[in-house]
Amino acid sequence: MRYCSECGAPVTTRVPAGDNLPRQVCERCNTIHYVNPKIVTGCVLTHENRLLLCRRAIEPRRGYWTVPAGFLECHESMADGAAREAWEEALATVELEALFAVINVLHMGQVHVMYRGTLVGGRHAPGPESLETMLVGIDEIPWHDLAFPSVRFTLERFCEDLRFGSFGLHETSFDAGP
């Protein structure tokens, strides 16, 4: 941010009175512009013991595999956002069961939340943001071609819980530094 989104004046970076972190502040209209983490919401979907994966058609990580996931919009719940992403990326209709993973991606200013659920009817096909979609057994996951560390974390925990026979809620943080 270089200009105040309220009045158009250049902003400065300083710690406002009563605060303890530097913020971007407009010295003309006194607006403080807070920047907060964004939520990425997605889901691990199964059909007859196989998992739905999508190969990304867009950057970042074009050509690599992911579960359906994307930025949460205003006016939708995290679960509704995960279902929307499944439709947009894999033309998949879903029944979500529970929140499964929370990954704080500190260096990106993001929190990734992953639900688990089922793929209704087993039907899927690439949406505009996917090159292809597929259902894979847990022994066929392309571990070396996954798009993001949060996808790896989610799939690792999912496979473990599936073998164990009971699903938990898994929480972690990643920090690749500034």
Which chain residues interact with a second copy by CB under 8 A? 1-11, 18, 21, 33-39, 71-79, 98-99, 102, 104, 106-107, 109, 111, 128, 169, 171, 173, 175
Residue 13 or 77: the one with the smaller Cβ distance to a second copy is 77
Residue 107 or 140: the one with the smaller Cβ distance to a second copy is 107
Asked if residues 13 and 25 have their Cβ atoms less than 8 Å apart, the reply is yes
> Measured from the CB of residue 85, what is the shortest distance to a second copy in angstroms?
13
> Measured from the CB of residue 38, what is the shortest distance to a second copy in angstroms?
5
Q: Where are the beta strands (DSSP E) in the chain?
A: 11-14, 23-26, 32-33, 38-47, 50-56, 65-66, 69-71, 94-105, 110-119, 130-136, 170-174
For 140-177, the DSSP string reads S--GGGBS-HHHHHHHHHHHHHHHHT----EEEEE---
> Measured from the CB of residue 107, what is the shortest distance to a second copy in angstroms?
8
Residue 68 or 141: the one with the smaller Cβ distance to a second copy is 68
> Measured from the CB of residue 59, what is the shortest distance to a second copy in angstroms?
13
Residue 50 or 104: the one with the smaller Cβ distance to a second copy is 104
> Measured from the CB of residue 109, what is the shortest distance to a second copy in angstroms?
4
Residue 20 or 49: the one with the smaller Cβ distance to a second copy is 20
If phi > 0 it is left, if psi is from -120 to 50 it is alpha, else beta; for residue 64 that is beta
